[in-house]
Amino acid sequence: MIARRQALARGMTDDGLAHQIRPGGRWQRLLPGTYLALTGTPTVEQKEMAVLLYAGPGGVLSGPAALHHLGIIRQPPAVFDVLIPAARQRQSVGFAAVHRTTRMPRLVILAGERQFVPPARALADMARSLTDLGEIRAVIGGAVQKGHCTLPLLTDELSQGPTWGSARLRRVLDEVSTGVRSAAESDFRDLILRAKLPEPMFNARLHDPAGAFIAIPDAWWPDAGVAAEVDSREWHLTPQDWERTMQRHATMSRHGIIALHFTPRQIRVGSQNVVTTIAGALNTGRARPRLPIQAKRAA
């Protein structure tokens, strides 16, 4: 990858550049003043470098581009978000989405000559650009659940960033603060609140009276000894994952816990049956002595 200013600084003329990028030439123009000195389809890394060259010195990749590089999302973006200082004049073009900002990141992640914002900034920037609450829940919840980013860092980013586009991000962070860690769990929490069921603890760590670990169910009603799990294929991708789920169920049952399992589809389509099942389990659990189980809220 090379920018026009770099090529001219190395002695190439405008005519020489035009010759290289002519039809059938050895170079190709990816963005204004930005060239790939190869033919063929550019790679993700080459597109990232092209965007940074187009953005100019100090440009930093954010949003889906940074999240893909960090392994938080799998799908490479079609458009690459790049942050530049507010005083610089540069327009979005092609696969480069340019964002002028007075909040250039103080810390960046380096990959060769490419620069990326840290996870919290990338997640917040992406969330502000999305209109689908489910997508925001999936990305934020997944990132926190898998340890890519912490809730305090995301909360700080929310408070320091712009207010536009932040309402959905604020809502998702409020959900995550209660322990919710996935889009399916968020839908489950919405259903519980709509049905006016008692709100459970989400992703609480359960221990027996001796302090031995039992499980971390998706939802836990301590007064009734009822646990609920949202069994989504997103989190159970292998037979081994499913076996661990069944083993967790058996462990909870041995301690007297009433363990319920629901699929995301049941929550969306069969919501009344889910509500009825939970209400019945809560009544059953409260009719017996309270279980001597200690619960610690999700961090």
| C-alpha span between 232 and 236 (Å, rounded) | 6
- Reported as a single tens digit per residue, the pLDDT across 109-143 is 999 999 999 999 999 999 998 888 888 888 888 88
| C-alpha span between 253 and 155 (Å, rounded) | 36
- The pLDDT, as a whole number, for residue 269 is 86
- Reported as a single tens digit per residue, the pLDDT across 206-248 is 999 999 999 999 899 999 999 999 876 544 445 566 677 788 8
- For every residue of 265-284, DSSP letters joined together read HHHHHSHHHHHHHHHHHHHH
| C-alpha span between 292 and 230 (Å, rounded) | 24
Give the residues across from 60 on adjacent strands: 83
- Reported as a single tens digit per residue, the pLDDT across 137-171 is 888 888 887 889 998 999 999 999 888 888 889 88
- The pLDDT, as a whole number, for residue 241 is 63
Contact assessment for residue 236 and residue 230, using Cβ atoms and an 8 Å cutoff: no
- The pLDDT, as a whole number, for residue 268 is 85
- The pLDDT, as a whole number, for residue 235 is 44
Contact assessment for residue 118 and residue 57, using Cβ atoms and an 8 Å cutoff: no
Contacts of 21 (CB under 8 A, 6+ apart): 27, 28, 29, 35
Contact assessment for residue 168 and residue 130, using Cβ atoms and an 8 Å cutoff: yes
Environment class of 203 (CB within 10 Å of its CB; exposed 0-12, middle 13-18, buried 19+): buried
| C-alpha span between 53 and 164 (Å, rounded) | 28
% of the chain at pLDDT higher than 70: 95
Cβ-based neighbour number of residue 169 at 10 Å: 23
| C-alpha span between 113 and 290 (Å, rounded) | 59
Q: Give kind and range of the element (H or E) at residue 133.
A: helix 133-145
- Domains of the chain by start residue, with CATH: 2-63+80-108 (no CATH), 123-177 (no CATH), 183-296 (3.40.960.10)
| C-alpha span between 180 and 27 (Å, rounded) | 49
Tell me the average pLDDT across 251-272.
92
| C-alpha span between 18 and 21 (Å, rounded) | 5
Rg (CA), the chain: 25
**Side chain identity, residue 252:** M
The one-character DSSP state at 176 is H
List C-alpha distances in Å: 177 to 122, 186, 212: 19, 12, 25
Whether the model clears a pTM of 0.75, i.e. scores above it, the answer is no
Tell me the average pLDDT across 274-286.
97
With b meaning 16 or more CB within 10 Å and e meaning fewer, what string describes 91-119?
A: eeebbbbbbeeeeebeebbeeeebbbbbb
Cβ-based neighbour number of residue 296 at 10 Å: 11
Higher-confidence residue: 235 or 278? 278
Give the residues across from 260 on adjacent strands: 228
